[in-house]
Chains A and B, each alone.
Chain A
Amino acid sequence: MSDAAVTRESGSLAQRRASDRRERIVLGTAGVIALFVAWQVAADYGLLNPTIGSSPRLIAQAFMAQWQSGDLLADLRVSMTEFAAGFLLALVVGVGIGIAMGMSRILEYAVDPFIWFLYSSPLIALYPVIVVWLGFGTTTVIAVSFLLTVVSVIVNTLAGVRSVEPMLVRAVRAFGGGRRAVVMKVILPASVPLIAAGARIGLGRALLGVVLGEMFSSNAGLGFRISYYAGRLRTADVFVALLLLIAIGLATDKIFKHVEARLQRWRPR
């Protein structure tokens, strides 16, 4: 009897949760639609100068025009390639440095001030120096993206290595495991949650780096297009690139959240 009561109670709780979730989705969608409708109405009734403020209809037209001319896909391809290159490079290098720092105290102390400097300094300001080294274009954009991303990966990997249970390391050693085995069998798997958290923060920073690099030192990609179109007062075209970047930021974050959850699944709760 008490069992039945418990089930009914948890059933209503689940129901309430489901209805709350539904409300969240419905209201959230309504909010986005309301914004676009209000924008269009404001533009139609002259409350907003469409040259300056654009409008959803103008943006849709600009999107179609860019799509048909192939500009959109070309820019998207450039930006996504740079994004992927900067992010993956930062992930590999950052995890490597983070694990090395986590395993060697001296190395950690020696590298720490530099990491701290990179983390606190506005790296965009260094782009002129990077341009001088790597030239104008893709390589510089990837480098800016890499630099912005790598720090958060290093910091979080280090925290991950620090969170490893020393007993596990000792156990692997006791069974004759060398340095390699310790890293592959204990440190890497145990650090995965924090590395993933760092990578997720890094994802946003990598995209920021791409836009930054393209705006200031490239002649292709979405970041470049935004500043190019804005300079010609083609606001609808600016919004096409801007909305695409927002979508990319949201989508990569959502995808990564799933990856993060999946990487956690084997862990006993």
Chain B
Amino acid sequence: MALLRSNASTAPLLKNRVPLVRVQRPLVGALAVGVFLAAWQIIGSNEIIRSDLISYPSEIVATLGEMVGSGELGANLAVTLIEFIEGFVPACILGVAAGLAFALCRRLRYLVAPLFAALYSAPMIAFVPIIVVWFGVGRDSKVAMVFLAAVIPIIINTTTGVNEVSEAWIRAVRAFGAGRRQVIVKAILPGALPAVMAGIRLGVGRAIVSLVAAEMYVSILGIGRLIQVYSNGGRAAAIFVLVGIVSTFGLVCVNALRVLEHRLAPWRGGR
């Protein structure tokens, strides 16, 4: 199985530029966002384009206040968060354990590799309806969906990461008299950590999309449910609020993982 990466990083290759660039980037970026928001505000609030279709920034902020004030947002966000945690934590634990098993046993890995490749390249959302048939319209189907979406990249990356751990590390640990258990804890797990974390990061993204889609498909409570409710009412402002909330949640997760990775592997330094 090959290591899964979310995307290429934009490496700065034209290095011979003036340091002014440091100031320019945030400045130009902020300016562009500012112009966009201002234009949106003017077009929306003056009804140049119907504001119930595109809303405008100040209305979105007001709607956010309203939804927080009424407790609607908090209650639904709590449900979604709990569903996410209940699916994601087992996905991490079982994913790493299964990945480790597949890496250490070559035959087992060959046996399951095509199944995981198929599950990984399939569009996750397509599983939502059948998961709902199996687990019901309530929370269980959302938890199962989060688990399914997250566990596959974690397994694949753990397997690849463990297989790519330097032979020298393992030999060094063995040379100091370590047994099988210690080889796993002291050499294999730390060595595979970057790949595992990359898998977990991919899992976060897939899990969030699948969770919101599953809630939108059918549910009683949750952010996805709210999106569905407001989409029928034609209230763009509320939709934008909810999109913002889910985006923020994704960003918080990714940054938390970065901090965690740094804590777990301080020797790697940097970000």
Which chain A residues have a beta carbon within 8 Å of chain B's beta carbons? 23-24, 27-32, 34-35, 52-53, 105-106, 109-114, 117, 120-122, 124-129, 131-133, 152, 155-156, 158-159, 162-164, 166, 194, 197-198, 201, 204, 207-208, 210-212, 215-216, 222-223, 226-227, 229-231, 233, 235, 238-239, 241-242, 245-246, 249-250, 253
7 examples of A-B residue contacts, CB within 8 angstroms: A110-B28, A112-B29, A125-B242, A129-B53, A163-B11, A238-B133, A245-B123
Contact A208 B29 (CB under 8 A): no
What's the A-B contact tally at a CB cutoff of 8 Å?
186
Minimal beta-carbon separation of B35 from chain A (angstroms): 9
Contact B29 A230 (CB under 8 A): no
- If over half of B's interface residues share one DSSP class (helix, strand or loop), that class is named, otherwise mixed; here it is helix
Contact B231 A128 (CB under 8 A): yes
> Beyond A159-B11, A162-B14, is A23–B126 a contact (Cβ under 8 Å)?
no
Contact B118 A246 (CB under 8 A): yes
Minimal beta-carbon separation of B269 from chain A (angstroms): 23
Contact A122 B208 (CB under 8 A): yes
Inside 8 A of A133's CB, which chain B residues have their CB? Answer: 53
Contact A109 B29 (CB under 8 A): yes
Bound Cα distance A239, B119 (Å)? 13
Extra A-B contacts (5), CB below 8 Å, given A109-B29, A201-B6, A249-B118 = A31-B110, A124-B213, A124-B216, A129-B53, A212-B213
Contact B10 A242 (CB under 8 A): no
Bound Cα distance A133, B236 (Å)? 11
Stretch at the interface among B156-164, B167-175, B177-185, B245-253: B245-253
Inside 8 A of A250's CB, which chain B residues have their CB? Answer: 117-118, 121-122
Inside 8 A of A204's CB, which chain B residues have their CB? Answer: 121, 123
Q: 5 tightest A-B contacts by CB?
A: A128-B231, A230-B129, A109-B28, A110-B32, A27-B110
Bound Cα distance A164, B27 (Å)? 26
The closest CB in chain B to the CB of A101 belongs to B10
Minimal beta-carbon separation of B9 from chain A (angstroms): 7
Contact A249 B123 (CB under 8 A): yes
**Which residues 211-246 of B have a CB within 8 angstroms of A?**
212-213, 216-217, 224, 227, 230-231, 234, 236, 239-240, 242-244, 246
**Which residues 119-152 of B have a CB within 8 angstroms of A?**
119, 121-130, 132-134
Minimal beta-carbon separation of B174 from chain A (angstroms): 24
Interface mask (B77-90 → A, CB under 8 Å = 1, otherwise 0): 00000000000000
Flag whether B48 is at the interface (Cβ < 8 A): no
Flag whether B70 is at the interface (Cβ < 8 A): no
Inside 8 A of B21's CB, which chain A residues have their CB? Answer: 105
Bound Cα distance A250, B120 (Å)? 9
Cβ-defined partner of A109 (8 Å) among B24, B122, B130: B24
Inside 8 A of B133's CB, which chain A residues have their CB? Answer: 52, 230, 233, 235, 238
> Beyond A211-B125, A249-B123, is A122–B111 a contact (Cβ under 8 Å)?
no
Contact A155 B7 (CB under 8 A): yes
The closest CB in chain B to the CB of A122 belongs to B246
Bound Cα distance A39, B209 (Å)? 29
Flag whether B107 is at the interface (Cβ < 8 A): yes
The closest CB in chain B to the CB of A209 belongs to B123
Bound Cα distance A117, B244 (Å)? 9
The closest CB in chain A to the CB of B245 belongs to A125
Inside 8 A of B123's CB, which chain A residues have their CB? Answer: 204, 207-208, 210-212, 245, 249
Bound Cα distance A103, B115 (Å)? 42
Flag whether B25 is at the interface (Cβ < 8 A): yes
Contact A239 B126 (CB under 8 A): no
Minimal beta-carbon separation of B125 from chain A (angstroms): 5
> Beyond A246-B121, A250-B121, is A31–B247 a contact (Cβ under 8 Å)?
no
Bound Cα distance A158, B16 (Å)? 18
Contact B246 A121 (CB under 8 A): yes
> Beyond A128-B239, A242-B126, A245-B126, is A113–B121 a contact (Cβ under 8 Å)?
no
Inside 8 A of A216's CB, which chain B residues have their CB? Answer: 216-217
Contact A212 B28 (CB under 8 A): no
Bound Cα distance A35, B209 (Å)? 28
Minimal beta-carbon separation of B103 from chain A (angstroms): 15
Contact A105 B239 (CB under 8 A): no
Cβ-defined partner of A162 (8 Å) among B13, B32, B217: B13
Contact B250 A122 (CB under 8 A): yes
Minimal beta-carbon separation of B40 from chain A (angstroms): 12
> Beyond A129-B239, A133-B53, A246-B118, is A215–B29 a contact (Cβ under 8 Å)?
no
Inside 8 A of B8's CB, which chain A residues have their CB? Answer: 155-156, 159, 194, 197-198
